[in-house]
Amino acid sequence: MIMQIATHEERMHVRHQRQLRKRPFYRKDLLIIIVGLTISISAFTTPASTAFAQDRQALALQFPHVFVFQGPSIKKVALTFDDGPDDRYTPQILAILKREHVPATFFVLGIHVQKYPNMIVRIKNEGHAIGNHSYDHDNLQKASPWHILWEVERTDRLLKKTAHVSTRWFRAPYGNVTVSLLRQLGKRGYQVVNWSVDSQDWRSLSAKQVLQNTLPAVAPGSIILMHCAGNPKEILTGTVQALPELIHTLRARGYAFVTIPDLFTPHTTTVHAKW
């Protein structure tokens, strides 16, 4: 509809100009305008997921030692949990992981490190990897270099103070990474980690929906995005309920579960979930 209106307006303008000037070349001008409008509209209608995948691949090629979203093509997968910790869902997830002997990686928020310090210590003591997920989940895509550094370094200081954890693994809120962010964090030795499988569990999905979003997409080297906390409106009961079946199914397919550091460390010993 927008294109039709614009085209009509341009046609009326061209007719008016023809009446005044009697110049035939305005047909060519109109064609250029229509083509330009078509290109602009098609750009807005390109699926976001496709654009995201293309950008992600391009960034991985441009920054091979800084940005990753997929592990090596071997039968290992990494479970990652964002936005924690909390005192509701994180303990339930940790209990399942401990029972199944599965290590995972928790990308935590500094504000939650402050609020639940004992949970950070528990994550560490139970053998899981810890990554930095910014201080308060701000969108860093348009943030200034100073603000990006503040978000990362403040969380880093809290992790060191709370659990004596020093991490070089970082996941940007919403997965929003830019060339500027990668250059800035790369100079400071960080590895920025996105994901290749999105459970979309933050949408308060059922266990069945979480499994439907996850299992068909898993491949060798997959990094699986899940959550262990969120805002009060996010219900992660489906995540907790889906986790045991997810582990059992992937193990039956021959996958080993590893942390993000182990996924990218050659010759590391993998850990399999047990029956």
Per-domain boundaries in the chain: 2-45, 49-263
Q: Is 227 a catalytic residue?
A: yes
Domain 49-263 fold is TIM Barrel (3.20.20)
Contact 257, 228 (CB under 8 A): no
CB 107 within 8 A of CB 129: no
- The pLDDT mean for the chain works out to 83
Q: What integer pLDDT is reported at residue 143 of this predicted model?
A: 92
Choosing from 112, 137, 227, 262, the catalytic residue is 227
Residue 54 confidence (pLDDT): 63
- The predicted pLDDT at position 4 comes to 38
Cα distance between residue 94 and residue 103, in whole Å? 9
- 153 is written with which tokens? 């370094």
Calpha distance 28→26 (Å, rounded):
5
Statement: residue 9 has pLDDT above 70: no
Burial class of residue 242, CB neighbours in 10 A (0-12, 13-18, 19+): buried
Model pLDDT, residue 26: 37
pLDDT number for residue 53: 67
Query: CB-hemisphere CA count at 13 Å for 197?
Result: 24
Q: Is the pLDDT of residue 221 over 80?
A: yes
Q: Predicted confidence band at 243 (pLDDT cuts at 50, 70, 90)?
A: very high
Predicted local distance difference test score (pLDDT) of residue 30: 39
**Is the Cβ–Cβ distance between 78 and 71 less than 8 Å?**
yes
What pTM does this model have?
A: 0.80
> Of residues 13 and 142, which shows the higher confidence score?
142
Instruction: Count Cβ atoms below 10 Å from residue 30 Cβ, excluding itself.
Output: 15
pLDDT number for residue 266: 61
pLDDT in tens, 28-57: 343 333 333 333 333 333 344 556 666 999
Which one of the listed residues 82, 156, 201, 262 is annotated catalytic?
A: 82
| Region of residue 214 (left: phi > 0; alpha: psi -120 to 50; beta: else) | alpha
Q: Is 272 a catalytic residue?
A: no
Cα–Cα distance measured from residue 59 to residue 68, given in angstroms and rounded to the nearest whole number: 9
Structure-block tokens of residue 231: 């805002």
Report, as an integer, the average pLDDT of 252-275.
71
For the cut 90, the answer to whether the pLDDT of residue 202 exceeds it is yes
